[in-house]
Amino acid sequence: MPDSRISRRGLLAAAPGAIAVAGSVASTMSAQEYRMEGADLKLGVASYSFRKFSRAQAITMTKELGTPYLNVKSFHLELNSAPAEIDAARKEFSDAGIVIVGIGNVDFKKDDDTDIKSKFEYAKRLGAPLIVCAPTQVTLPRLEKFVKEYDIKIAVHNHGPEDKYFPTPQSVLKIVKDLDPRCGLCIDIGHTARTGVDVVESIAEAGSRLLDMHVKDLADMRVKESQVAVGEGKMPFPAIFRQLIKMRYKGSVNLEYEIEDNNPMPGMQKSFSYMRGVLAGIGAVAAV
């Protein structure tokens, strides 16, 4: 059955047991990693979702969602933090069982080696293997030498129609295709949809350059302000997950919940339950 014909209600009805299990594990740190046909998808959280909350609260909320995987935004550890502060934060994350899958989004607009190096040093000290970033056409190639020096990946985040540098995944690919393989994309599916390009096709085009993902759902695929809990909008999640499995994607799929910033947990819990249900419904196996 083509993905476009799978309704959200139909899919949820087809796998109620899987969704019930997914909802019940939210406090046990399980059902966060799914494997199928060589793919290894990690459902995680972009800590921007918790921007109104402290680091300690963000850690607790991430664990309540049933995942250890977190992309750390500067709200929860400032980029100019002293080494001792970074060390203390790293220990706090580690002691809580949180796995840092990356940092960001990090701005690389300044064409200056000192500025760039300081951010790679931050990532290295925190133990982050990847930097989700927002460079320019000038600074992006410049980042390559730091990727090689630090062995830290960069994933350029596309920001939609308002982004004068990299609005679409395709605009990122034009440059990174000729750079070190550790230079790639963080596709934000919401921003991608708003540019009018096909989200699933864009993921396929990225191929091995897809190093990270930010996911969300939209009631209107062209309107930023129409974000809703995942499963309540029009984003084709079954097709997205099938494409990631086809590509044998092994990175993170991080929920970036930009609405209800004072009380994001109900919507985020719905979002995780829906994504787990979709993955179970297409046959992906949860690794507990």
Domains with residue ranges and CATH for the chain = 3-286 (3.20.20.150)
Whole-number pLDDT of residue 288: 63
Mean predicted confidence (pLDDT) in 275-280? 96
**Chain centroid to CA 1:** 28
CA dist 212 and 24 (Å) reads: 27
Ranges of H-type helices in 25-159: 55-64, 83-95, 113-126, 139-150
Q: Which two tokens stand for residue 137?
A: 């056409």
Least confident of 30-39, 66-75, 239-248, 249-258: 30-39
CA dist 163 and 51 (Å) reads: 21
Under the banding of pLDDT at 50, 70 and 90, the label for residue 4 is very low
The verdict on pTM exceeding 0.85 is yes
Q: What is the pLDDT of residues 106-135, one digit of tens each?
A: 999 999 999 999 999 999 999 999 999 999
> Do residues 157 and 134 lie in contact, with contact meaning Cβ atoms separated by under 8 Å?
yes
pLDDT at position 7 over 80:
no
Q: What is the pLDDT of residues 150-205, one digit of tens each?
A: 999 999 999 999 999 999 999 999 999 999 999 999 999 999 999 999 999 999 99
Mean predicted confidence (pLDDT) in 218-229? 97
Under the banding of pLDDT at 50, 70 and 90, the label for residue 13 is very low
Whole-number pLDDT of residue 31: 54
pLDDT at position 27 over 70:
no
